[in-house]
Amino acid sequence: MKNILKLFSVIILFSVSSVNVISAEKVEFLKTDWTFKGLFGKFDRASLQRGYQVYTEVCAACHSMKYLSYRNLSEKGGPEFSVAQAKAIAASFEVTDGPNADGEMFQRPGKLSDKFVMPYENVKAAEAANGGAYPPDMSVLVKARGGGVDYIYSLLQGYEDAPSGMILDDGVHYNKYMYGNKIKMSAPLSDGIIEYSDGTNPTVEQMSKDVTTFLMWAAEPSLEARHQMGFKAIVYLIILTILVYFSMKRIWSRVKSEV
Amino acid sequence: MSDHEYTPKSKAGKWFNDRLPLLTLANHLTDYPTPKNLNYWWTFGGILTFCLITQIVTGLVLAMHYIAHADMAFESVEHIMRDVNYGWLIRYIHANGASMFFLAVYIHIFRSLFYGSYKSPREIIWIIGIIIYLLMMAAAFMGYVLPWGQMSFWGATVITNLFSAIPFVGEGVVTWLWGGYSVDNPTLTRFFTLHYLIPFLILGLVVLHIWALHVPGNNNPVGIDVKKPSKDTVPFHPYIVIKDGFALLMFMIVFAFFVFYAPNILGHADNYIEANPLVTPAHIVPEWYLLPFYAILRSVPDKLLGVVAMLSAILILAVLPWLDTSKIRSAVFRPLYKQFYWILVADVLILGYVGAMPAEGLYLLIARVATAYYFLHFLVILPVLGLKERTIPLPLSITEPVLGGSPNMAMAKKKESKIE
């Protein structure tokens, strides 16, 4: 049994050290309590719904979310809008469909099965409208940045005046948490920029937290299912391991040997 | 071994077995006499078999939904993550499974190094193992390319470009590998094909690996030959089956932790950005399991020599049975080798660490020293040590030390005196 413990600790040490190597980050990000972290982590439903509001009223002007569909908004483990609400949200967007029988493309209200409507026709159009910088698609943005949610959360609140001596080009802004500190996106949030339908006070901090939560869900829609299944799987494995351990002891008691 | 005397009890069984001796094989596998002093480091063979099967089964399902096309690969992975039933689970098992596979194979290899399992008469097992390891690296590398993220694309560009170091034909070889003038759709489709093929080659080699193992039988912590079957051995079933099963379950707990609670921690964030040939990531880093070799590659200033050094670092293992001149297998009875063994382990870990860091300044210096030491260990220390080292006398049988509670006689005696 001593050997097993040794072995186990080696494996854990090894995985921890390899993790440290990979996620070595220099900047200290702002911290907040994320409800979706930990063994039983779940999304804060109200925060997700508010986060969607921030996304659609602020971010969606420039940032696409091309891998999400309107139906996702009513799915379990997400913002869990009612199906009627999700339908209404979808219908508020104009979707280009076609060609129809005459060979023409046409506009129609969105349906649940439609993907989120993109703000620009293509990457080039997005670049042209944003001074040459492509506003990245937000579907998996949280997973595509070292530091993940903490990074996005900090970045949204990281706009400051540039330190003296730093010269910024036109259309470039200073951000404490951006790689190289220069960012093309102007500060997207300001206190009271939107009005939350549930009456929450829309401070920059609150909106940053809500929209980051929403982005986490967008990147990892199965997070809740994963945590739930993970807990069951690991408990099951531990029980089975214990049972097998005693069976093993029993079987090996027939021979003169250590196990 | 009782293979030859085995006859099935039933008439039908006998009829079948006379024509295709599958039952004899099954009987051989269950009765296979195994040294009873094997410790938990020996359970990784079974764990590795589990890893291979897991990768094949999950990979098969992923291949049903994945689209190997430069314009659609990234999207199809997101489709798997979002729309395929339990697609996220299958993909995370597959992606983390690769890391688990390498974790297990490194433990398996270092166990072999500690207990001298590569020595006569087990050289062929060892060499087949090294070929499997090489194929694993190829499969893992190509698998990492398939999601067509930024690290996929640029990792593929860096690694395939290594072939351009070959004198005269290098450039031509690279163009041939790419199927064009840069990493692009033809590269992706051929990598997918090869990624699908290699696991089955590995499976075949695993059969040979086990076959070759069953000729001399297992080495053991004491490293002396065992009479088979005898009171030093136990039949594979149920003794080793249950022990391997127990260790496998422990391993699966670690595996499950990664899959369910930290599925992206071993990957690189940049691989969630779709491949873009016009934007190079700040640091191009391979997956953790290739880092030591990446460090060796970068520690040599010349490109061709760097590639040669990296390949030699792996291939040198294949001739290890002849570089190690000691007749004693187990490090337990080789006090000096034991020290050098742990230095080598530290050396490889250091190489892995500097492989993840930028190749400059102190990191580069450390990488160079560690690379030099790696080769020194195999080319100088091992051959000399075998001739010079004063070893501890071997016990007559494994039962002797096992009854003392430890494979090391000196330690066993110490233990006894404590009890008194």
Inter-residue contact A213 to A36 (CB < 8 Å) = yes
What is the Cα B205 distance to its own chain's centre? 13
Of A71-85, A87-101, A158-172, B329-343, the least confident? A158-172
Residue A26: its pLDDT value, please? 62
- Give tens-digit pLDDT for B62-91: 999 999 999 999 999 999 999 999 999 999
Q: Residue B38: closest CA among chain A residues belongs to which residue?
A: A259
User: For residue A10, what pLDDT is reported?
Assistant: 58
Q: Which residue's structure tokens are 């033809």? A: B186
C-beta atoms of B243 and A248 within 8 A: yes
Q: Is the pLDDT of residue A243 over 70?
A: yes
- Give residue B252's pLDDT band: very low, low, confident or very high (50, 70, 90): very high
Determine the average pLDDT of the residues in B53-58: 98
Nearest partner of A119 among A91, A100, A138, judged by Cα: A138
Using 50, 70 and 90 to split pLDDT, how confident is the model at A44?
very high
| H or E stretch covering A183 | strand A182-183
pLDDT reported for residue A256: 78
Higher pLDDT, residue B51 or A169: B51
DSSP B263: T
Distance CA(B9)–CA(B17), nearest Å, equals: 11
User: For all residues of chain B together, what is the average pLDDT?
Assistant: 93
Q: For the residues B28-52, what does the mean pLDDT come to?
A: 96
Interchain contact A72–B (C-beta under 8 A): yes
Indicate the residue of A144, A219, A227 with minimum beta-carbon distance to B273.
A144
Reduced to 3 states (helix: H, G, I; strand: E, B; else coil), residue B184 is coil
Q: Is the pLDDT of residue B4 over 60?
A: no
Q: What is the mean pLDDT of residues A94-122?
A: 95
Q: Which residue has the tokens 């080769």?
A: B375
Q: What's the whole-number mean pLDDT along residues B105-121?
A: 97
Residue ranges of domains in chain A:
224-251
| pLDDT score, position B214 | 96
Question: What is the distance between the alpha carbons of residues B82 and B50, in angstroms, rounded to a whole number?
Answer: 27
Average pLDDT, chain A: 91
- Give the best residue of B78, B150, B240, B249 to mutate against chain A (max A CB count within 10 A): B249
Confidence of residue A168 (pLDDT cuts 50, 70, 90): confident
H-helix or E-strand containing A181? none
**What is the ipTM score, two decimals?**
0.90
- Nearest CA distance, B404 vs chain A (angstrom): 10
- Judge: A226–B264 Cβ closer than 8 Å, yes or no: no
Q: Which has more pLDDT, A59 or B411? A: A59
Cis ω before B238 (30° cut-off from 0): yes
Residues B320 and B116 sit within 8 Å (Cβ to Cβ): no
Residue B227 confidence (pLDDT): 84
| Interchain CB contact of A139 with B (< 8 Å) | yes
Among the partner residues A24, A143, A248, nearest to B246 by beta-carbon distance: A248
pLDDT tens digits for B318-340?
Answer: 999 999 999 999 999 999 999 99
Question: Is the pLDDT score of B398 beyond 90?
Answer: no
Rounded to whole angstroms, the Cα distance separating B253 from A241 reads: 9
Closest CA to B373 of B345, B337, B344: B344
CA distance A191 to chain B (A): 31
- Give tens-digit pLDDT for A3-19: 555 555 555 555 555 54
User: Which domains are present in chain B?
Assistant: 27-409 (1.20.810.10)
Least confident of A31-40, A69-78, A203-212, B220-229: B220-229
Kind plus residue range of the DSSP H or E element containing A71: none
The percent of residues above 90 in pLDDT, for chain A, comes to 81
Nearest CA distance, B372 vs chain A (angstrom): 22
Characterize B27-62 residue by residue with b for buried, 16 or more Cβ atoms within 10 angstroms of its Cβ, and e for exposed: bbeebbbbbbbbbbbbbbbbbbbbbbebbeebbebb
Cβ contact, residue pair B352, A179, below 8 Å: no
What pLDDT is recorded for position B410? 52
pLDDT band, residue B230 (cuts 50/70/90):
confident
Task: Indicate if the pLDDT at residue B407 is higher than 90.
Answer: no
> Residue A180 — very low, low, confident or very high, per pLDDT cuts 50/70/90?
confident
Range with lowest mean pLDDT among B12-21, B39-48, B220-229:
B220-229
pLDDT exceeds 60 at position B411: no
Q: Give the residue with greater pLDDT, A168 vs B179.
A: B179
Q: Strand, helix or coil at B83?
A: coil
